[in-house]
Structure 1
Amino acid sequence: MTTKHSASLFGRRLRDARRQADIPQDRLGIQIGLDEHTASARMSRYETGVHEPAFEIAVKLAKALHLPAAYFYCEDDDLADLVLAWGRLPKSERKHVKTLIETKLAGKLGK
């Protein structure tokens, strides 16, 4: 069923991340610097796709939710999961994972 403003990809990912973090809309909005009287309404508009925030706001949301901002924009769910996993990896492990992926790709391209 389609609603007047179906949730955008950004909105769906934001809602999922906020719920996973167990943070109410108003508190998340206030945490990123929105006015306390409008924070809940603005967050609701972002989540439902009525409005999409500027990238700077998306970065603040990502930081507050402890995830990479790229997560909000991944069209592919598997890629979104990979972006989340990447964000959780210590920087010392990222180089190793990147090397594994590059090696795997080089093997596929060389065949």
Structure 2
Amino acid sequence: MIKHPQSLFGSRLRAARIRAGLPQDRLGVLIGLDEGCSSARISRYETGTHAPPFEIAQSLAAVLNVPVAYFYCPQEKLAEVLVELYGLAEAELQFVLEELRIIREKRVARDA
């Protein structure tokens, strides 16, 4: 029986793991968990039974190639943006930041 995530962290973790094509046990081993308990531990994180310490969340993010903020972001579209921005070069991030500031300035001027 598949348990569905009951937490934001759990649903984001499951989505990232599936997107990466990793089974729970492999993900657990990749972050340094014992092979005998790795699948159960990841399952508990995904279902929300347990919340991982921040250090584990950082390890999960690194292996799954997502920013750790992705796991905690309550807005779906913003979470997607975080994933897309992750790994961009500094110059690319600067360009995106400048474009976002232009968009915000236009919105403020429009709403004034």
Shared topology, TM-score over 0.5? yes
What residue number does 1:61 align with? 60
Structure 1: distance between partners of 2:98 and 2:24: 39
- How far did residue 40 of structure 1 move? 0.6
Please give the secondary structure, in 2, of the residue aligned with 1:72. helix
* Counterpart in the other structure of 2:20: 21
Q: After TM superposition, what 4+ stretches of structure 1 lie above 2 angstroms from structure 2?
A: 88-91
1:40 aligns with 2:34: no
| Alignment length (residue pairs) | 108
Summarize the Cα distance change of 1:89–1:22 in structure 2 as closer, same or farther, 3 Å threshold: same
Unaligned runs of 5+ in 1: none
Give the AA of the match of 2:83. L
Amino-acid identity (%)? 47
Using the TM superposition, name which of 98-107 and 57-66 deviates more: 98-107
Tell me what 2:69 maps to. Answer: 70
Residues 8, 71 of structure 2: 8 Å contact kept = yes
Deviations, residues 37-56 of structure 1 (Å, cap 9, x unaligned): 11110000000010110111
SS in 1 for 2:86: helix
SS at match of 1:67: coil
Which ranges in structure 2 are unaligned for 5 or more consecutive residues?
A: none
In the TM superposition, residue 109 of structure 1 has moved relative to its aligned partner by: 1.6
Distance 1:6 1:100 in 2: 35
- Which letter does structure 2 place at the counterpart of 1:90? A
Output one character per residue of 1:45-101: Cα deviation in whole Å (capped at 9) or x when no partner. Answer: 000010110111000000001110000011010010110111042222000000010
In the other structure, the counterpart of 2:8 is: 9
Q: Distance in 2 between matches of 1:55 and 1:33?
A: 14
